[in-house]
Structure 1
């Protein structure tokens, strides 16, 4: 997935969920949009480097958007949650997710289920069961372990129930944890954050719902992040 042209600044603070103040290299402070409503645990502390894009819009109140944080240890994390589905869509098109590579048709944002949900991707292929794929972003990393979630997610719990219902109807159902952080080499559910999500995931996978976690890698050109792609499945630890 190609990233938009990015510029660097220094993080001052994030507030009101959607707003972030940054300091530009020449000292000017501006406010940019933050397209992430989550806890963003470990995704940016004061004076971390913020890589931001410029929409060029003359009508948006905040035309710049926070895309990536470069942490003090040099690791990168994409905090723009809109990018996760773009990342997975490209990986599906390129057959990079081996467990799903046999499907040829990719339908995004399809309504389904009994709890007013939309599946991120419905995959279809001749002679294959329909496959419902729910995407979750890995942005929380501790000790080289990628984790999800970073806050209690009742929405995520609902998605697991919906996926199980699809599995019981004879379809494939998959939750795909996509790496938006390049600092992990294995994955686990953050049960200390949301024990109910952990319990539900174990329950639904025992009944046939599939779960995979994939690492993410950034391309860098002249010190600037230019692209993000999924690379390989990582080991799952309890």
Structure 2
């Protein structure tokens, strides 16, 4: 995925109210407020002074001109915009980068299913076999070098999605969880059970029910994000 417009670089001042971040732009030495499309805690990623990249918009109807896309911390490039992962995983699926999920004839996004939910990606083949694919953006890394973890905050919604994936398997369909690791310094992913025990239990139950789990890493630069690196599962 190439960014539609050139990104603007700057330095983070602070993230606040979850969805807002103040940034000093490099080019103009101007302080702007950017939209932060990430509902997680962003643990370890909001250090004052880190380099960040923003997408500018010329839409006059937008309240905030900039959206926070990337950051660099301790030499690692990290993608934090959670509106991107579904499209990145779709790109990977269409390019056959997850071989176990290849061979579909139709791909749809945001399809209603379960208990008032929407599946991120629904794959269908000619025999009407359905595979429900849930995508999670992974940005947390702490302690062991090279190990990414999910979630970075308690996620009741995430546990609910795992339960619904298990329900789809019991109904005779296939279901898969794809962890998209948007860090270029990690080669494995694990569940952060100390952060959310309920999510860990729901994950174990989903595995036992037959939900498939895959992880994909990304090459990240200020020009593009390419979901193409195999990531080990450390469960």
SS of 1:226 mapped into structure 2: coil
SS of 1:57 mapped into structure 2: coil
Q: Is the 8 A contact 1:175 1:212 kept in 2?
A: yes
Aligned pairs for 1:106-185 (under 5 A) are: 106-113=107-114, 115-127=115-127, 129-142=129-142, 143-185=145-187
Equivalents in 2 of 1:206, 1:56: separation in Å?
Answer: 48
Calculate the aligned-residue CA RMSD, in Å.
1.3
SS of 2:48 mapped into structure 1: coil
Q: What's the counterpart of residue 217 of structure 2?
A: 215
Aligned pairs for 1:186-197 (under 5 A) are: 186-197=188-199
Q: Is the 8 A contact 1:157 1:200 kept in 2?
A: yes
Q: What's the counterpart of residue 206 of structure 1?
A: 208
SS of 2:84 mapped into structure 1: helix
Offset, 1:127? 3.3
Equivalents in 1 of 2:104, 2:141: separation in Å?
Answer: 31
Q: Is the 8 A contact 1:119 1:132 kept in 2?
A: yes
Q: Is the 8 A contact 1:44 1:69 kept in 2?
A: no
Deviations 1:16-71 (A, max 9, x none): 11211111224221111111121111223100011001111223221111110111
1:61 aligns with 2:63: yes
Structure 1 unpaired stretches of 5+ = none
Q: What's the counterpart of residue 20 of structure 2?
A: 19
Equivalents in 2 of 1:150, 1:16: separation in Å?
Answer: 17
TM-score, length of structure 2 as denominator length: 0.94
Offset, 1:165? 0.6
Structure 2 unpaired stretches of 5+ = none
Counting matched residue pairs gives 231
